[in-house]
Structure 1
Amino acid sequence: MQKSENGGDEATVDVKFTDLPNALIACKVPEDLFTEDGLKASFEALFRSFDPEVQFQYFKSFRRIRISFSDALAAAEARLRLHKTDFNGKEMRLYFAQSVHIGSPRLEPPKPEKQFLISPPASPPVGWEQAHDATPVINYDLLCAISKLGPGEKYELHTATPTTPSVVIHVCDDEHGGDSSAPDDSDLDDKPRPPRPKIIQTRRPDYSPEVRQ
C-alpha cells in the first residue's frame, strides 16, 4: 500500500511473489559451521525468525548452505536484512537460489521421432527407410580423352566464358625427355638407386665466455 506525498488518496499496489525463488544460498560461511552444533544452532536461529518452518541443507565440500523458506516473501526479507552481515567474524553473502524447469520438472524420455539421433541409436521411427548411396558418375569421354594424351599435350575441359575461366589439363613431360628407348620402371628396380643427398647441418658458432661491452 502506497500513500502520495500531497496527502491524497491511498493507492493499493498488488505485488506477486510467485515468480521469485523461495530459497537462499549462503556463501562465505565459517568452516566451523559445518562441524560445531552450537554454531549451527546460532546460524539457523537467524533465519527461523523470518520463517519457523525454514529448512537447511549443508554442502560442506562447496562451503554452501541452502536455506529453503515456505514462501518467497520470507526469503526476500531474510536476504534484505542478513546479506553482508557479520557472522562469527565472517561476512555472510546470501543469494537467491535459481531453479529453471523447461516443461515438466521430471526427466522425460525423448520423443519417438527423435530417438534415432541417439548414439547408439534405438529403433528408428515408423516409416523410416535408409537412403541408398547414389551411383558415382563416371565421365567416360573425359577418361578416353585423357588416355589419348601424350607428354606435353593439353586438353580443354571447359571453354572460357566472359565470366568464368577455362579449365585445361596439361600432361607433364616424360621424365626421360620423351626417349622411348629409356628403360621402364621394371628395369630400374634391378639397378641400385643413387644415394640421397645428405643434409649438412649449420655449424654452431664457438662459445666465448667473455662478454664484451
Structure 2
Amino acid sequence: MLRGSGRGRNAGGLRRAALGAAGAAAVVLIAACGSSGSGSGSGTDAAADPKLPVPATTTAAPIATPATAATLATPGATTASATAPPNAAAPEGYDPARDAAADIAAARRSAAADGRPVLLDFGADWCPDCVVLGKTFTEPDTAGLLAKYHVVRVDVGDFDHNLDVAAQYVELRSSGIPALAVVDAHGKLEVATNQGQFANARDMPAAEVNAFLKKWA
C-alpha cells in the first residue's frame, strides 16, 4: 500500500454500473496495495506531506481502501498485548497501543545476545496487503523461517503513526506498506524494501516471501 491521497480513498476509483430495471449499485474496484503489482518503485513523486520523512527518491502509486482489510482478516484474530514482549514468531496484526521503539530496542538486545537478526514489519491492520502478509507468516514453511528472526510488527496507522521510528529503517513514501527491514545482530541495517517489494503482497506467492527470509536470516 503506497502513500497517496490518504486512508479510505480507493485508488482504483469507483465504477457504477446499471443492474437492470431494479436500480443501480456501486461497484468498488480495489487496486493492489503495491505499485500496480510491479514492486519496482517506478512512478510519480508522492504529494508533499510534512508528517512523512522525505527520502532522497520517492515514488507513489494509487492506494487501496482500508475497508477491504476486514474481509481478509482471520476470524477471531487478536493483536499482541501492549505489555507482552516481541518474540520470534510474528505477532498477529499491528497493535497501535504498543511502544514500537521499546519493542525494537528489546528485539535488538535479544539479537545481540543470540545472534538472530531482527525483522521489522511496518504496516497497519486496515491494509489488505498487510493482512495477507500476516497470514503468509503463519504458513508452516514461512513460520519456520521467521523463527530465525526476532520479529517486530510496527503500526504506522494512516501513515501518521510511529513515523519517527519507521524513518530510521524504511522510506515509507516509496516503500508503501507492508514494508520490511532487517537489522543484523550488530545493529546494522541489512536491507529495507524501499522499492515497494512487499506493497503488493496480495499477489506475492509464499515462495517469494520465503526467499526473502532465507536470504537475510
Q: Same fold per TM (> 0.5)?
A: no
TM-score normalised to structure 2 length:
0.18
Looking at both structures, which has the greater relative contact order when contacts are Cα pairs under 8 Å and sequence separation is at least 6? 2
- More helix per residue: 1 or 2? 2
